[in-house]
Amino acid sequence: MISLTSTNYSFPLQKGVYHGKVRDVYNINDDLLVMVASDRISAFDVVLPKGIPFKGQVLNQIASTFLDLTKDVVPNWKLATPDPMVTVGLKCESFRVEMIIRGYLTGSAWREYKLGKREICGVRIPDGMRENEKFQNPIITPTTKADKGHDENISKDEIIHQNIVSEEDYAIIEDYTYKLFDAGTKYALERGLILVDTKYEFGKRDGKIYLIDEVHTPDSSRYFYSNGYKEKFEKGEPQRQLSKEFVRQWLIQNNFMNEPGQIIPEMTPSIIRSISDRYIELYEKIVGKKFEKEQYHGNLSERIENNVLSYLNTLPINNY
């Protein structure tokens, strides 16, 4: 199986490119962004050495689905998906925070809680809670957005005090975060899932705030199966999950959490295939339809380039 782990395109009127952990983002004329979802995979803030076939297609198509489903709830940046691994949209000035919203005490929040912390990002968490317990109301625990290395927890008050986001703009993205999470929660329940936690990113263009980047994908979200949740919670058993957590758990079991001296375990063909199969399973459960592996003849990178160029050629000739 072939995977796409790097890109190096030169599109018409291209002003630059940003290579992120997973996505490569091309700036077209300081007006549009061409976002390529590669097959790279990251965990514990490090990109793993091998790609996962079809992962980019899975993530891009899930994100595209939810951008369409929520466009009447919150304005978003998407204009088109000219290739299964590509989204083209409006270029916005991104806020330097990620809005993480949690409906349940799990993951990193639970690990900190278990160590005795009762406040995360300025939000108080009651004593006596258990792993995977539902919060009375969802909580927002923002982080700074790091280009490299670790994102850092930060409180709402610190964000406003440091003028990372103005108080007026923060009120809007906070409201959008709750609305998106509510919409995602209702959609997940229809699929037999619980949207446990997720993150959103926002940007601003011409004075208007937009949802940008991905939304409700297994890379940015955690899902539990709703069937059996209560029984497993009452027994203190691990929940059945749909998220990238299975990759993190594989790394933890192999003594890697990106701490000093630790070495990334070998990604064998069977491990790569199993991760690819899990991502496809995630797509089919979350979206509710069969995943169609995009067929291509020849070079995968060339297919993407040709599809993007065909789309850009449909735009007004004076601009592109």
DSSP 85-150: TEEEEE--EE-SEEEEEEEEE-HHHHHHHHTT--EETTEE--TT--TTEEEEEEEE--EE--SSS-
Residue 111 near residue 82 (C-beta atoms within 8 A): no
Cβ-contact 296, 303 below 8 angstroms: yes
Q: Supply the pLDDT for residue 146.
A: 67
Query: Residue 62 has what pLDDT?
Result: 95
Task: Report helix, strand or coil for 72.
Answer: coil
Q: How far is CA 12 from CA 43, 80, 290, 313, in A?
A: 34, 17, 35, 9
At 123 the pLDDT is 97
Beta bridge partners of 100: 199
pLDDT at 27: 97
pLDDT score, position 218? 83
CATH top-level class of 14-93+257-312: alpha beta
Token pair for 300:
């995968």
At a CB cut-off of 8 Å and minimum separation 6, what does 278 contact? 246
Helix/strand/coil percentages in the chain, nearest 5: 30, 25, 40
User: How much is the pLDDT for 28?
Assistant: 97
Cβ atoms 155, 41 nearer than 8 A = no
Every domain of the chain with CATH number 3.30.200.20 lies at: 14-93+257-312
So what's the pLDDT on residue 30? 95
Please list the residue range(s) of the chain that carry CATH number 3.30.470.20.
94-243
Taking 50 as the pLDDT cut, the residues of the chain under it are none
What pLDDT is attached to residue 122? 96
Closest CA relative to residue 251, chosen from 273, 267, 235 = 267
- Indicate the pTM of the whole model: 0.89
How many whole angstroms from its chain centre is CA 33?
17
Map residue 156 onto helix, strand or coil.
helix
For the segment(s) 94-243, the CATH number from 2.70.170.10, 3.30.470.20, 2.60.40.290, 3.40.50.720 is 3.30.470.20
